[in-house]
Amino acid sequence: MSASTSGVVDGEPRETNVVTAIRDALHDEMAADDRVILLGEDVANRGGVFRISAGWMDEFGPERVIDTPLAEAGIVGVAIGMALRGLLPVAEIQFADFIHPAFDQIVSEAARMRYRSNGAFGCPMVIRAPCGGGIHGALYHSQSIEAFYAHVPGLKVVMPSTPADAAGLLRSALRDPDPVLFLEHKKTYRAVKGPVPDGPFLVPLGSADVKRAGTDLTCISYGYALHTCVEAASRLFDDEGVSVEVVDVRSLAPLDTDTMFTSVRSTSRVMVVYEDNRTYGAGAEIASTIAETLMFDLDAPIVRIGGPDIPAMPFAAPLEHFFMEPEPDQVYRRMRDLAAF
Amino acid sequence: MSASTSGVVDGEPRETNVVTAIRDALHDEMAADDRVILLGEDVANRGGVFRISAGWMDEFGPERVIDTPLAEAGIVGVAIGMALRGLLPVAEIQFADFIHPAFDQIVSEAARMRYRSNGAFGCPMVIRAPCGGGIHGALYHSQSIEAFYAHVPGLKVVMPSTPADAAGLLRSALRDPDPVLFLEHKKTYRAVKGPVPDGPFLVPLGSADVKRAGTDLTCISYGYALHTCVEAASRLFDDEGVSVEVVDVRSLAPLDTDTMFTSVRSTSRVMVVYEDNRTYGAGAEIASTIAETLMFDLDAPIVRIGGPDIPAMPFAAPLEHFFMEPEPDQVYRRMRDLAAF
Amino acid sequence: MSAGVATTAHGALGLSTEDLLAMYRTVVTARLLDEAALRQNRMGRAPFVVPAEGHEACQVGTAWAMRRGIDVWLPYYRDGALVLAAGMTPYEVFLGIFAKADDPSSGGRQMPAHWGHKELQIISGSSPIATQVPHAAGIAYAIKYRHEDAVVGCWFGEGATSEGDWHEGLNFAGIHRLPVIFVCENNRYAISVPQSMQMAIEDVADRAQGYGFPGVVVDGNDVLACYSAMKQAHERARAGEGPTLIECKTYRFLGHTSDDDDKTYRPRDEVERARHHDPVHVFGEYLRVHDIVDDATAEELRAEVKAEIDHALATAWEAADPLPESALRHVFYESDEGP
Amino acid sequence: MSAGVATTAHGALGLSTEDLLAMYRTVVTARLLDEAALRQNRMGRAPFVVPAEGHEACQVGTAWAMRRGIDVWLPYYRDGALVLAAGMTPYEVFLGIFAKADDPSSGGRQMPAHWGHKELQIISGSSPIATQVPHAAGIAYAIKYRHEDAVVGCWFGEGATSEGDWHEGLNFAGIHRLPVIFVCENNRYAISVPQSMQMAIEDVADRAQGYGFPGVVVDGNDVLACYSAMKQAHERARAGEGPTLIECKTYRFLGHTSDDDDKTYRPRDEVERARHHDPVHVFGEYLRVHDIVDDATAEELRAEVKAEIDHALATAWEAADPLPESALRHVFYESDEGP
Ligand SMILES: Cc1ncc(C[n+]2csc(CCOP(=O)(O)OP(=O)(O)O)c2C)c(N)n1
Ligand SMILES: Cc1ncc(C[n+]2csc(CCOP(=O)(O)OP(=O)(O)O)c2C)c(N)n1
Ligand SMILES: [Mg+2]
Ligand SMILES: [Mg+2]
């Protein structure tokens, strides 16, 4: 239900949305520690295309809030250098779809620095990237990229679904000695509201969270799709009394299999729901690890719902709508069928 | 055991190794069609670091065998342009580990050109990349990269394990109207020999192949690991009479689930073996799709064997050896246990 | 004042009065189309539009040296005026803006202004900046390889010049002396990032010498200067002398896109000052001074264009939407696509 | 001929006889170490080595203007002589060649010549070419941000200059006028690809002007010329005047690595001609002309160095291999690593 399940919480909660929670947490971190540097396209002069850093160039100075050239490999590569010299860079990629030019710097450099130097050097840095669709962003402002990066040893990948998780995970990411890819689903930015504890509370990396308790089946999801699942679960409970436990993965890498396995053992039915292209998506790993470990605990085949295998979301409303499975209705139907299996 | 299972074969077979089969097939294609262009680092003057194109600059001319600058995004991007203007470029990436700078050109451009133009433009091109470990290549000359690319709609990804498959798949890739990532496991180059039909036979993209027939369990693999599995299977048959069917995936995308499902239905036990880092590796998709579809056909939990989740293979012999699981012994033991389950 | 053809700027460039009128009509069409599209955006009928306002001269000027049906175009999203010069109709542009099934760029799949047109040889472009630059080099390579008489034009903003792909594309084109022209529309901002935070130099054109071919700077608000530079580059390309980098100094009058509020990062008086050099007005003045248009004919042309745009808009609005399930098509080649 | 300090090339640069002897010793050590390593390779005891032969002067010359313990080094695999000048010992180099547990670069995880040394501030490098260039800019940014008195040196071959990362790194450094020096060891080949197929220009240094800072060309076989250029760049960097690109024209005498057969792509007489400018001999001649060494002292130094190398080699060979299971360590931070 909230980050309190596994986070260290202090202060009075405040109701806010995801983008504000991210802004506030990052602001506090920057105010508290001048090693924290924000760099990216349009983050300074304009305060970010999502206005997360509006006013910060004046507040923290242009040395700490840096408008970079249009060059993602350079942004990540420069951030790696900063991290190697004692700073704590937050590299903002304007849209996750544009992170691809930095693939080599992230995979070959940031994620391998510690391993290849046998522990001598490390890259404490956060790469923030707004991802996901449903906001009329078309093919190149809608992509899900988590599957590419969750596969990379040496890199941590998280995607919060609530304001509290966003704030708590961002703080943990900034305190982590290794590189963290922090994915922000754009559709949660303003649409998802919730309480955020007031203090500098943390949500540990590598921890999943039960967002809705239930007994009949386990639904595992993350990002915006998580809310689709919670909504479907609550309708299904109201309609037919089916009790669905919804687990929020939160951390794609490392994956908290304990929390998932515990839930699946108790319900014996499981579905995995994600927005990304279905085939070779992150849900494959989740389904697969459950199949290996809990096969004989299951009363029904694992259900996996992912986006269609087309290159991201088209622009035209009818086409975008077609992609934005998992829609609540589809998830609802498959939940009901799975419970009845 | 050979491509004949699903390939169109003519001519007398000839015994050769994988690297020679690739060289011969590519040579014949270049000789037959002057739209075929080879470009990459060191492919002309030196004939490639694996000597695949030795002598071709003289034979086909420097316009058709092009030494490029050291710039992988440029190599792929230029190849896309060539493909858009009626050529059939074969872009050679010197080592798969160095394909990462081209990630954006492959994912955002080559793979999306057709979709984003609603079918108006296409990129018929082949990207060849020698991959895989066990050849003392250390962290950056040993990587498996198939999982990153198999997830990309619009891109086909194949990895042959035998000389005949290499030749037949390469020809199909060159005839395909869409971009194909052709992965060549370096350890198969000289170590794996086999018959290659003499004519221009094809192995269709998207077809798996039963490399060893069996009844007790299905072992699904590809690349060099496939040979580890065949070897373990044959030892296990000799030692204990256990009959293992070994399926060669060959085509990671699209995946030939029919061939795999048919085998699994007949054996009711399945293991998936791959060299790449285990977590979020290609084996996750294979295991997951079987779990969804054939759960009640299985008599034992799915077994998944992948490489450790460390950033590729270290250089020192003891460390490389440690990574090069799946070793025959490990696969052998897990096969025996699974058959006995 | 009327002048003999040979002594005027356009005469010296070999441009007739008809040429100038056709160019002017294109410039005016682009401007009015932008305005109409923005109105659609404010009315909630067009979720996203990309105005070209301010860039009309450099786009139409450079385009005019290209040969429709022969040369190849790789524009970027800002190139609304360019694609009109390349032969796209306002109707086709509105099909894109309204994301209709018949949108020639993408059938409504991409955001508007992600141009593509198979018949016109406008190569499909994407959002990631500068990715088209190596494509342009590859196409030019194929042209040279097949001894074809075609030239490739590749347009981008100054922001694109920071990307690795840009460097790699220009370098390859230089090595092989390819028939390609790189046109930088330098409006001094990449969204909000001023040129000074993008590069430590004044002229992008200076980078050309690192690739072994000429870089030239032109006034991007002067349509004839842009045409002239492009014409020379085009001749160079056809003569086998290789690429040229042309930098057009220009300015964007409106927000980056309809989603952008440029007041957050640009002083209003800077925008005002730039408007004094509005390329559409500058060109109109030139035509008046040379007695090619007067107030009446200019107004007539404007009215004609406006009617054409209104009609295009209305017709496009009525066109069919793509079918939902069509989203699954064209991931791979389909046999009905032709070669 | 002996000359007063002030009138010699080295005197003008402020280098004492002791400096020169130390530089010479480093150059000779690099050469003899290369030879010893290649012998180990042929004996089958070293699966992979990367000779620096031919590059000694530009590496040691540029290194000598850096301050050990203060400045930061980002070398590439060719920089075997450079890392000796930066403070690595032959023993440490051999630990890497034999992939031993105590190899300071990577504990035997990376191929030899993938340098790294935390205490010496040699930043761990990888195989993918040019990736260290933006790192160098980022480190220099942090130095400037914290008002530290340190300079970053970043070395690479001319092949690296074709990569997008190179462009992006230099551009960033130029914008922020960072204290970083980019050194290009131009040996005219990227493995087998000749410079003419890598770029359409003669001097890589020309690219610097596209980034707003100076590019200089020096004779890479002249250790003092390299030192001089680096010294000036170092002063510029410390004075807050920003980066410099130094291009050292040099040549690689042997194959690209022990895996390469350069006979497949380079004419033998080209290599022979280059050997006439062997930087180790050139430097030796300089020292003889200035009476700083004679045949006897040169031979003595050589013998001393050889003994040191033989000892280092023998000791490193006996050192412990990494434990197999240690392959699982250091994927992420471990609490025993310190900050
Ligand atoms: C690779 C990539 N990174 C970031 C973006 C987001 N973005 C879109 S346009 C733009 C600025 C482009 O500026 P410029 O090239 O100068 O063109 P202009 O819009 O000024 O005409 C940015 C940063 C993108 N589309 N692609
Ligand atoms: C990204 C990448 N692509 C390809 C390679 C393979 N490779 C290793 S060294 C090299 C040539 C480098 O040439 P240059 O930069 O001139 O340095 P030199 O070896 O001549 O000193 C190539 C192509 C690589 N290591 N990384
Ligand atoms: Mg701009
Ligand atoms: Mg070189």
CA C27 to chain centre: 11
- Mean pLDDT across A40-53: 97
Q: Is B71 in the pocket of ligand 2 (CB under 6 A)?
A: no
pLDDT for the residue numbered A1: 34
Q: How far apart are CA A11 and CA A6, in angstroms?
A: 16
pLDDT values of chain D reduced to their tens digit, one per residue, 339 residues: 344 445 899 999 999 999 999 999 999 999 999 999 999 999 999 999 999 999 999 999 999 999 999 999 999 999 999 999 999 999 999 999 999 999 999 999 999 999 999 999 999 999 999 999 999 999 999 999 999 999 999 999 999 999 999 999 999 999 999 999 999 999 999 999 999 999 999 999 999 999 999 999 999 999 999 999 999 999 999 999 999 999 999 999 999 999 999 999 999 999 999 999 999 999 999 999 999 999 999 999 999 999 999 999 999 999 999 999 999 999 999 987 654
* Annotated catalytic residue, options B141, B151, B185, B227: B141
**Residues of D annotated as catalytic (active site), given as ranges:** 252, 256, 265
**Residues of A annotated as catalytic (active site), given as ranges:** 141
Mapping DSSP to helix (H, G, I), strand (E, B) and coil, where does residue C332 land?
Answer: coil
Residue A281 · residue A251 · CB < 8 Å: no
Nearest CA in chain C to D213: C200
pLDDT for the residue numbered B325: 56
Q: How far apart are CA C59 and CA C79, in angstroms?
A: 7
Tell me if chain B has a CB within 8 Å of the CB of D111.
yes
Tell me if chain D has a CB within 8 Å of the CB of A109.
yes
Q: Is D256 in the pocket of ligand 2 (CB under 6 A)?
A: yes
In ligand 2, the atom with minimum distance to the C-alpha of B100 is 1
Best probe of the D interface among A88, A118, A152, A205, by most D CBs < 10 A, is A118
- pLDDT tens-place string over residues D264-319: 999 999 999 999 999 999 999 999 999 999 999 999 999 999 999 999 999 999 99
Quick one: tokens of D150? 């340190």
* Beta bridge partners of residue A126, listed in sequence order: A90, A180
**What is D60-72 written as a DSSP string?**
HHHHTTS-TTTSE
pLDDT for the residue numbered B100: 98
Tell me if chain B has a CB within 8 Å of the CB of C102.
no
Cross-chain residue pair C127–A71, CB shorter than 8 Å = no
Cross-chain residue pair B49–D129, CB shorter than 8 Å = no
Cross-chain residue pair D190–B73, CB shorter than 8 Å = no
**pLDDT band, residue A3 (cuts 50/70/90):** very low
Closest Cα of chain A to B282: distance in Å? 7
Q: Classify the phi-psi angles of C251: left when phi > 0, otherwise alpha if psi is within -120 to 50, otherwise beta.
A: beta
- CA-nearest of B244, B115, B92, B65 to B183 is B92
Nearest CA in chain A to C48: A136
Ligand 1 pocket at CB < 6 A: A 41, 70, 72, 94, 98, 101; C 78, 127-129, 156-160, 185, 187, 189-191, 252, 256
Residue C217 · residue C247 · CB < 8 Å: yes
pLDDT lower than 50: segments of chain B: 1-9
Name which residue sits closest to atom 21 of ligand 1, judged by CA. Answer: C157
Q: Beta strands of D193-255 (E only): which ranges?
A: 193-194, 215-219, 244-249
Tell whether the model's pLDDT for residue A158 goes beyond 70. Answer: yes
Q: Is D31 in the pocket of ligand 2 (CB under 6 A)?
A: no
Do strands A244-248 and A193-196 pair parallel, antiparallel, or not at all (unpaired)?
unpaired
- CA-nearest of B106, B130, B101, B131 to B307 is B131
Subunits with 3+ Cβ pairs within 8 Å of D are A, B, C
Nearest CA in chain A to C100: A316
Partner-chain residue, chosen from B100, B140, B284, that has the shortest CB–CB distance to A288: B284
* pTM to 2 decimal places: 0.97
Residues A124, A125, A129: CA angle, nearest 5 degrees: 155
How many angstroms does the Cα of residue C192 sit away from the middle of ligand 3?
Answer: 9
- pLDDT tens-place string over residues A260-280: 999 999 999 999 999 999 999
Selected residues 46-105 of chain B with any CB under 8 Å from a CB in chain C? 63-64, 68-69, 71, 73-74, 76-87, 89, 101, 104-105
Q: How far apart are CA A62 and CA D144, in angstroms?
A: 13
Mapping DSSP to helix (H, G, I), strand (E, B) and coil, where does residue D127 land?
Answer: coil
Q: If you ran DSSP here, which 8-state letter would residue A108 be given? A: I
* Catalytic residue status for B141: yes
For B164, C193, D97, the CA distances from A73, given in Å and listed in that order, are 39, 17, 31
How many angstroms does the Cα of residue D190 sit away from the middle of ligand 2?
Answer: 6
Cross-chain residue pair A310–C164, CB shorter than 8 Å = no
pLDDT for the residue numbered B13: 87
Q: How far apart are CA B103 and CA B148, in angstroms?
A: 9
Tell whether the model's pLDDT for residue C207 goes beyond 60. Answer: yes
Tell whether the model's pLDDT for residue C286 goes beyond 50. Answer: yes
Cross-chain residue pair C175–D198, CB shorter than 8 Å = yes
Tell me if chain C has a CB within 8 Å of the CB of D101.
no
Closest Cα of chain B to D118: distance in Å? 20
pLDDT for the residue numbered A200: 87
Q: Is D157 in the pocket of ligand 2 (CB under 6 A)?
A: yes
Q: How far apart are CA A27 and CA A29, in angstroms?
A: 5
**pLDDT band, residue A10 (cuts 50/70/90):** low
Mapping DSSP to helix (H, G, I), strand (E, B) and coil, where does residue A144 land?
Answer: coil
- pLDDT tens-place string over residues B223-262: 999 999 999 999 999 999 999 999 999 999 999 999 999 9
Torsion, CA A103, CA A109, CA A112, CA A115, rounded to 10:
180
Which ligand has its closest atom nearest to the C-alpha of D159?
A: 2
Partner-chain residue, chosen from A83, A87, A105, that has the shortest CB–CB distance to D131: A105
CB atoms within 10 A of CB D331: 20
Residue B241 · residue B215 · CB < 8 Å: no
ipTM of the complex as predicted: 0.97
Best probe of the D interface among C161, C163, C167, C193, by most D CBs < 10 A, is C167
State whether the Cα torsion C25-C28-C34-C38 is positive or negative: negative
Nearest CA in chain A to C331: A310
Tell me if chain B has a CB within 8 Å of the CB of A120.
no
Quick one: tokens of D319? 């050192």
